[in-house]
Amino acid sequence: MNNTDFKERAKELVSKMTLAEKISQMTHESMAIERLGVPAYNWWNECLHGVARAGTATVFPQAIAMAASFDEELMYEVATAISDEARAKYNEYKKFGNTLIYQGLTYWSPNINIFRDPRWGRGHETYGEDPYLTGKMGTAFIRGLQGSGKYRKLDATIKHYAVHSGPESERHSFDAVVSKKDLYETYLAAFKYCVENADPSAVMGAYNRVNGEACCASKTLLTDILRGEFAFDGYVVSDCGAINDINSGHKITKNEAESAALAVNNGCDLNCGCSYPYLKVAVAEGYITEEKITETVERLFTARFRLGMFDNDCEYDKISYDVVDCEKHHGLSRKMARESIVLLKNNNILPIKSDKIKKIAVIGPNADDKSVLLGNYNGTPSSYTTLLRGIQEAAKENNQKVYYARGCDIFGDAAHDWAEQPTREAIIAADKSDAVIMIMGLNPSMEGEEGDAYNGSISGDKRDIELPEIQKKLFDEIIKTGKPVIFINVSGSCVNLTAQDEKCAAVVQCFYPGAEGGGALADIIFGKESPCGRLPVTFYRSTADLPPFNDYSMENRTYKFFHGKPLYEFGYGLTYCDIKENWIDANIVELTNTGDYDVNYTVLRYEYIPILNGVQCKNLAGFKKVFLKKGSIVTVSIK
């Protein structure tokens, strides 16, 4: 059955609906139309890195972590596993006669915004700062979600369109002013790539304005560019409450009827929120025609027919609930977590060898914290391994002793005289050990979405890129012991690690690694696997390196345009091997592994593009993950 058939069936069904019935289908909580056999349906579902908010599911590493793998094939496998679990859940939920929120097939993932500034709280939901990497990883994810059968397995929704990356506290009224060059080369590039290469079912509009137009009602973004230039043929959904923002926050329209009409007239089909019921008023006032509403609802029902919701022969209806949170998916999660870990410094202390290091101190507030495994928009794992537990289990196998001390809170000093004082315990643990593993950084309560984070005054964004002061104090105390320190930074974004780079024997970046993160980290630091992750974002030395947060110009931002010297550059990542790259020409490289490990290795191909006055822009133009056996020589083509 081709897409034309789905469109014709949608057109026939919608032709039988009254205006009120059509409008009832245009919000995320679509009403049942019993006389036409249309069940109620809630369009809102999440699967950023696993089926989210729908009970038990495999929790894969957060999106920024998966980006660090630079592994498209593995990303496709992960997305396929996620879609299997999503379909299995839907197959059971629909037996109740309808599906509630987080129980359907239309998923509002992935987030392909560009992580232009490390202070943005939601950056860890993205694939980093590079449009090409984002487009490639996004394409693999979308293809894995949507499948390649007669029907769509799930609907993937690329978001948030467009030019959206904070500040969170101003998103309901903010106008992102951006040049045409930055708009097309940076902010829209991944959207265009995904539309052309993955055919995503849907696009979600952003809260903010772009150059004066509200994203969810922008003729420029939705009509001219998305449907015109990019030839997007799916449906557009608003972010939640964004239509109301058009009048209440952006002050473009006078009321919700005008806002709803403006959005639908410019191509926003589905409202997450409660503004589109005002379309009945809008029609009466002449703001919009019923024909336009009909066209919109036909798009929405084309999607539902394409998902097999009204048929009995959909191949995905046979997916069993046994795939949910299964052992195979746990293993896949652990594999992705291993590939997401980035080794930033190593003075030969890693991997840890039991003949040299017999006693280990594990210190830090993130060591035994479940939340740092899960990130945000996450599911509920039936089992999980914290970073501490993973280290303990690996050390036990090697007959090594582990001393654990939390050392300090994640942020904030003790609030009263009778509070626990854990720093001395950490010093004792360090003194009794041959080496210290410090597990510090941030957690998802410290960087996230408006309304989700502890730092409510800035709505989930970060004021700076520093470690919390209480963690700095603990770090200094442990350094004073003179014991070699392996520093594990856990965060979804860049943190200033200049002191750690200077004073520690090894530095490791562990983005929120999923439910199997503890085992994956242990696999790396105890040498079962060589690290192979690369940074999908620049790690700056100071907040002073950054332009103003609300400036959307790409000048002096990301690896392409930054004027200074980063601590760790985009694409940086070490292995336990000595890999030699011999570029034969611009597209072909010979790789030699002279190390003692078999290793997955990502080759990065850059182009250097002139900008102005002799300045060149370094631009990622290709990458490929390659398996290299120790002692092997492999020739790789990257076009």
* Active site positions, annotated: 239, 447
> At 618, phi and psi to the nearest 5?
-80, 125
Distances 320 to 84, 86, 307, 324, 506 between C-alpha atoms, Å:
9, 11, 17, 8, 44
> Which H or E run includes 498?
helix 498-503
DSSP 77: H
Rounded to the nearest angstrom, the gap between the alpha carbon of residue 623 and the centroid of all alpha carbons in its chain is: 19
Q: In what order do the strands lie in the sheet with 202-205?
A: 106-107, 155-161, 202-205, 235-238
Residues 510-530 as b/e (b if ≥16 CB within 10 A, e otherwise) read: bbbbbbbbbbbbbbbbbbebb
Q: What is the DSSP letter of 531?
A: -
Q: How many CA atoms lie within 13 A of 554 on its CB side?
A: 21
Query: Of 456, 467, 464, 492, which is closest to residue 168 (Cα–Cα)?
Result: 456
DSSP string, 404-446: EE--S-SSS--SSTTS---HHHHHHHHHTSSEEEEEEE--TTT
Q: Let me know: does 19 contact 13? Beta carbons within 8 Å.
A: no
Sign of the CA dihedral running 349, 353, 359, 363: positive
Compute the distance between CA of residue 406 and CA of residue 241 in angstroms, rounded to an integer. 41
* Interatomic CA distance for residues 545 and 528, integer angstroms: 37
Find out whether 407 and 363 touch, Cβ atoms under 8 Å. yes
Q: For the residues of 206-246, what is the DSSP string, one character each?
A: PSSEETTEEGGG-IIIIIIIIIIIS---SEEEE-TTHHHHH
Give SS3 for 16. coil
Whether the upstream peptide bond of residue 160 has omega within 30° of 0, thus cis, is yes
